[in-house]
A and B are shown apart, each in its own frame.
Chain A
C-alpha cells in the first residue's frame, strides 16, 4: 500500500520514501517551518477527511537536540495536534494517544477504527557520529553510504576512472582522515550528517546535493543494508499498511 499522506521536513525524505516504494512523490508534503507549522498543516489537510475516508498518514521528523527538541516533545506535539483535529471534527479525543513501537523507540503510532485513522510518527534519532548536534534522515543515508557493500559499489562505478583506492581506505578517509585534516588546520568539526554527506559526495566527485546523494546511495546499497538501516521507517510504514504482515 502506498501511503497517501506523508509529512516531512526535507527533500531527502521524499527520495528515501520513493526509493523504498512507500509512497508516490505527489503524496509527500514538505513543510518548512517549525513543529507547530508542520503539525498544523497536517491537521488542516487531514481534518476534512476525518470520519469520511480512511486516513493513513506518516510523519517524519528530525530531532534537533541542540535546539532543545526531545522525542517526547515531538511526540506530544503531534498527539496534541491530532486531539485538536478530533475535537474540531466532533470526535472524542480521549483515546488519541501515540504509542511507542515495541521494537523501535523512535517510532510511535495511533490508530482508531471509527473514525478510520492510522498515524505513524518516525523521529530520526540515530546519529551517525557521536558529536553531531542533530539527527536527521541524512544520518541514516550516511550510515548506509559508509557500509562496505555501498562503498564497494561506488568504487566499482569509478573503476573506469582508474581509481584504485580500497573500500576500507575510502571509508577511513571520509570518516576520519579528512575531518582530522580540517581540524588540524583550525576548521571546526562538521556538526551534521548533511555536511558529511556533502563532503563524501565531493570526494566521490558526485552531485553534492543531499537528496541526490541519497538517491545514488540507495541505488548502490545492498537490499539487506537498506532494510537494516531503515528498519524503523519500514516498521512505521508496515503499521500504516492494511496488508497482513508476511515477514
Chain B
C-alpha cells in the first residue's frame, strides 16, 4: 500500500485486513529501542531496533496480544537477565541468531521483554563492515525472502510471533517507507482504550509537559458536546495502587462526576481527545506523532461524531501528526470528505483505502478526496466491492 497521507481511512469488508494493517503500522512505529542481532554461526552482528513503550507507556506486543486475547508463547530463551534473547524455533529465518537490546524506557510490568517479537532493520553506516549496504541488504533479503534494498529507504519489520501471522505461519515481515514517529509519540486507540484508563505515569508526564492540558481537554470536549456552563477536567487515581488515572468532569454548579459515568459516547470522546491533545502538543517535525484509531464511530451519535472529527481535524491542523483510522462507518468517511470540502482539511491530506483479502493476499484500492466526493455524491459506497444495495439510499449533500 502506498500514497499514505496525513489522514488515512481504511475501509472494507470484515476480515479484509484493516486491523492487521493498523497493527503492522503500530508495531513499526513502536520499534524504537536499540537492539543488535547476531548471527551465532558467522559471528556477524547488525544494529536494529525492537519494541519500546508507546505514548501511554504500553508495551506494544503486550498491547497487541491483549487485543486478540492471546497468551505470549515461549519463542525464545531469555539470557543474561533479560538483556539477550535466543531463538529456539527451528523454523524461523532467525533461528541461528541472538538479539540483544537496551532496557525498556518505562517498565510497567515485570518480564515484559519475554514478549519481545519484533525487530526493525534499516540501512546503516555500520563501520564493522567494509560494505555495510551489502551486508544489511543480505540480512534483509534472508528475512524478507525477496530481493530488496534497504538503501532505497525501506525499513524492514520482522515479527516472529506465529499467532499474529496468517493462519499461524511462523513469522511475518513487512516493509515501511518514510519517516516513522518515535514510539513515545505512537498511539493505538481502540475500544479497550475507551473502556480503560490511562496509566498514572502518563498523566504525571503530561501534566508536567503539556501547558494547560486539562483546560484544553475541557475546551475541546465542550465543543463536541455543546455543553453549557463552565467545567474543569481533573484526573484522579481509579485504583488503590494508583496505577491508573480516571478523568473527572467538574462543572461549576454541580458535583464532579467521573467521565465514565457519562456514558460510552462521552468517555470515548473524552479519552480520544485527551490523548490526541497530548500528542498534538508533543509532536515535533523531528519527532512526529502517529495516531492509530480503530472505529472512531463506536458509541457515537452522528451529530457527536461529526463534531468529534471536526475537533480532530482542528487539533491535527498544522501539526506533524499522521492519523490512520479503520472504520465501518460511512459517516466517518463522509465527515472527512466534508471537512475537505469546508477547507478544514487540505484535499491532498486525505486518502481512503478499500481493502480486500483473498487467500492471504491483500489488495487495496485508493480513494483521494475527489474520488470520495464523486462516490458519496453519487450514492456509491466506498466500503464495499461489487454491486451492493444498501437498504437506505444516501448521498453527500452537494
- Which A residues fall within an 8 A CB radius of B? 4, 26, 29, 40-41, 44-45, 47-49, 51-53
Contact = CB atoms under 8 A, between A and B. Distances in A.
B365 interface: yes
Interface string B353-374: 0101000000101110011011
Nearest to B354: A48
B363 A44 contact: no
B373 A44 contact: yes
Contacts of B386: 53
A46 to B, nearest CB: 9
B121 interface: no
A45 B363 contact: no
B385 A53 contact: yes
Interface of chain A: mostly helix, strand, loop or mixed: helix
**Quick one: which of A26, A29, A40, A47 has the most chain B CB within 10 A?**
A47
Given A26-B379, A29-B378, A41-B374, A48 B367 contact: yes
A53 B356 CA distance: 12
A56 B311 CA distance: 40
A29 B378 CA distance: 7
A102 to B, nearest CB: 31
B168 to A, nearest CB: 29
Top-8 shortest CB links A-B: A44-B374, A45-B374, A44-B370, A48-B365, A52-B365, A48-B367, A44-B371, A48-B371
Given A4-B387, A53-B385, A53-B386, A45 B378 contact: yes
**Quick one: which of B375, B378, B379, B386 has the most chain A CB within 10 A?**
B378
A45 to B, nearest CB: 4
Interface in B106-163: none
A49 B366 CA distance: 9
Contacts of A40: 370
A40 B374 CA distance: 9
Nearest to A44: B374
Contacts, number: 32
A51 B363 CA distance: 11
Interface in B259-300: none
B385 A52 contact: yes
B247 interface: no
A45 B375 CA distance: 6
Given A44-B371, A45-B375, A48-B382, 12 more contacts: A26-B379, A29-B378, A40-B370, A41-B374, A44-B370, A44-B373, A47-B371, A48-B365, A48-B375, A52-B385, A53-B385, A53-B386
B112 to A, nearest CB: 42
Interface in B323-338: none
A40 B354 CA distance: 21
Contacts of A49: 365
Nearest to A2: B387
Contacts of B385: 52-53
Given A4-B387, A53-B385, A53-B386, A48 B379 contact: no
5 contacts: A4-B387, A44-B373, A45-B371, A45-B374, A45-B375
Nearest to B366: A48
Contacts of A4: 387
A52 B366 CA distance: 11
Contacts of A53: 385-386
A29 B373 CA distance: 13
Nearest to B2: A90
